[in-house]
A and B are shown apart, each in its own frame.
Chain A
């Protein structure tokens, strides 16, 4: 890959490196939607198609600014009530101010997740997961790496419905978060360079481990209406969740970037129905290193376990999870 393309892609990666949005779920009275930037702790049977993001990223050094657009899809499936996997794919368009547009698929993503703690009374869920960016399955033109990257991750979700009644208007609040470390399976890339005079040198580029972390703050208007105070919100507002996502990355062992966090703050809103949800968020760089232009991300998300429970909630060891068996 030329240095120019690498630079453009690296800039894009800073702003668009958020992990794909994931599961939704219900714990106690609390419904958690699938969020767009930060993965939540649930496993589910669902499909995000599409997630579309767009932002203009700044140039760096000799690299011109560019407009970056991504189209993503992710399919998630439970293998048991508490264990599931996901498959994700992203198509990227990189349109620099100078030069030709580059497009292609990024590496395929596979992930596993296991829910190890649930407390319906306290609306709390904890889970762990492992992500695998499958090297070589994407196009180098858009920065897809030839090596794998594995990302062990911890997830949590907490609804505040257990607050005292004196704080009733805080009860619809919920917090989710994740913390993982993206570990490349190749520590560095060595490139052979032949100079004009015929001499040969080698350039070494470190592939750093990167902490990928973030959290969301949500205010569930359906929870407010159904369990706290009916303030007369009509549809569709009674099915909306205003939220803010904080999607961050921190290189851990880069010689030049270690500890220098980049990321985005994403205020937005999610509407959820019985079978689908729709979300849209602004994408705001958190600091100058992350960029200076505001972008946007939107998603259409299908609850497959509700659309066709007999099909999509089937599991190999637990049968059909969908319909609850009557006493």
Chain B
């Protein structure tokens, strides 16, 4: 049972992502990747991608990159044009949880 994260802390915040937060891309990405500003716990960090009608569309293989402990990634199939939202939840190495979401669009 996870205790609620304390309200303050050195939480891991996103540094940048691919696709970029709020961006419009010409071609569907093969992966959604989020780089954080600190290392994150592989076991308890997740990411999923949903379409505009709130259907999950990623491959369910969310993982922390084994060569880069700050990179959280998930594979997506070829996505149709439209708007998508990425939901992520991570636990930093010091145990603090952060979560968030962002949108991107495919032309």
Which of B's residues lie within 8 Å of A, judged by CB? 1-11, 13-17, 20-23, 37-38, 41, 43-44, 91, 94-103
Contact = CB atoms under 8 A, between A and B. Distances in A.
Interface stretch (A188-196, A286-294, A301-309): A301-309
B21 A324 contact: no
Indicate the member of A23, A26, A306, A324 with the most B CB atoms within 10 Å.
Answer: A324
Given A26-B11, A306-B94, A228 B38 contact: no
Nearest to A115: B7
B8 A24 contact: yes
Interface string A174-201: 0000000000000000000000000000
Given A228-B22, A229-B21, A305-B6, A29 B95 contact: no
Contacts of B91: 324, 326
Contact of B100 (A29, A43, A115, A125): A29
B95 A230 contact: no
A323 B8 contact: no
Contact of A81 (B6, B13, B16, B98): B6
A252 interface: no
Contacts of A8: none
29 contacts: A25-B7, A25-B8, A29-B99, A29-B100, A31-B13, A42-B7, A44-B7, A78-B6, A81-B4, A81-B7, A225-B16, A226-B14, A226-B102, A227-B21, A229-B21, A230-B23, A238-B15, A303-B8, A305-B8, A306-B8, A309-B94, A322-B94, A322-B95, A324-B5, A324-B95, A325-B1, A325-B2, A326-B2, A326-B43
Interface string A195-227: 000000000000000000000000000100111
Indicate the member of B14, B22, B100 with the most A CB atoms within 10 Å.
Answer: B22
B11 to A, nearest CB: 6
Interface string A218-253: 000010011111100000001000000000000000
B95 A309 contact: yes
A46 interface: yes
Contacts of A10: none
Contact of A322 (B9, B23, B100, B103): B9
Given A44-B8, A165-B103, A303-B9, A26 B3 contact: no
Given A26-B11, A305-B9, A323 B94 contact: yes
Contacts, number: 107
A227 B10 contact: no
Contacts of A117: none
A45 B101 CA distance: 27
B102 A228 contact: yes
A272 B38 CA distance: 14
Interface in A1-50: 23-27, 29, 31, 42-46
B22 A168 contact: yes
A327 B100 contact: no
A26 B21 contact: no
Given A23-B8, A230-B22, A275-B10, A327 B102 contact: no
Interface in A41-61: 42-46
A327 to B, nearest CB: 5
B44 A26 contact: no
